[in-house]
């Protein structure tokens, strides 16, 4: 990966269009709608508008739809990948993100259709290919889930 750490992209918020220019995820696995309050190399807040139309609710669970915990953790990871993409100025480049570890993961409250999920992600360590984040998923100020996770960010040419 080129050394782009000194020139972060000049964004503090991303819309869906910019998100798609940073990470490769698409429907049905793109789990964030925007990221706001981006502080390069430090933090960002992802927003996920949870709707009843999402495919996982058909089976999880038909009579009482609940967003799967692994999808919440994935949404935190996607938010973090956007923070990395902005920090490293990796836009319109083929960046891939690979989970390396998930620690201290806890689920506290169900996330259901109609919720606006806020994904507060803070870098614990990063600046190169390997990043570690702390994530907190919140709805209406209530903690739904939390985790620490480590991921490797790589451009396809670096593989």
| Tokens representing residue 81 in the block | 């990948």
d(CA 145, CA 108): 6
Catalytic residue flag (residue 120): no
The catalytically annotated residue of 25, 56, 60, 120 is 60
d(CA 77, CA 132): 10
Antiparallel, parallel or unpaired: β 43-49 and 130-139? unpaired
| Tokens representing residue 114 in the block | 């109609």
Residue 54: cis peptide before it, omega within 30 degrees of 0: no
Whole-angstrom distance between the N-terminal and C-terminal Cα of the chain?
10
Q: List, by residue number, the catalytic residues.
A: 60
């Amino acid at each position: 990966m080129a050394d782009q750490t000194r020139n972060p992209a000049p964004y503090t918020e991303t819309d869906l269009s910019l998100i798609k220019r940073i990470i490769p995820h698409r429907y049905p696995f793109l789990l964030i709608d925007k990221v706001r309050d981006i502080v390069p190399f430090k933090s960002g807040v992802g927003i996920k508008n949870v709707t009843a139309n999402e495919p996982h609710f058909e089976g999880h669970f038909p009579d009482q739809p609940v967003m799967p915990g692994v999808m919440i953790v994935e949404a935190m990871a996607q938010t973090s990948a956007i923070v990395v993409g902005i920090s490293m100025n990796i836009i319109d480049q083929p960046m891939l993100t690979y989970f390396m570890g998930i620690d201290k993961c806890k689920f506290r409250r169900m996330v259901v259709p109609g919720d606006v999920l806020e994904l507060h992600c803070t870098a614990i360590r990063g600046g190169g290919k390997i990043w570690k984040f702390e994530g907190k998923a919140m709805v209406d100020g209530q903690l739904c889930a939390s985790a620490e996770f480590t991921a490797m960010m790589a451009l396809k040419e670096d593989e």
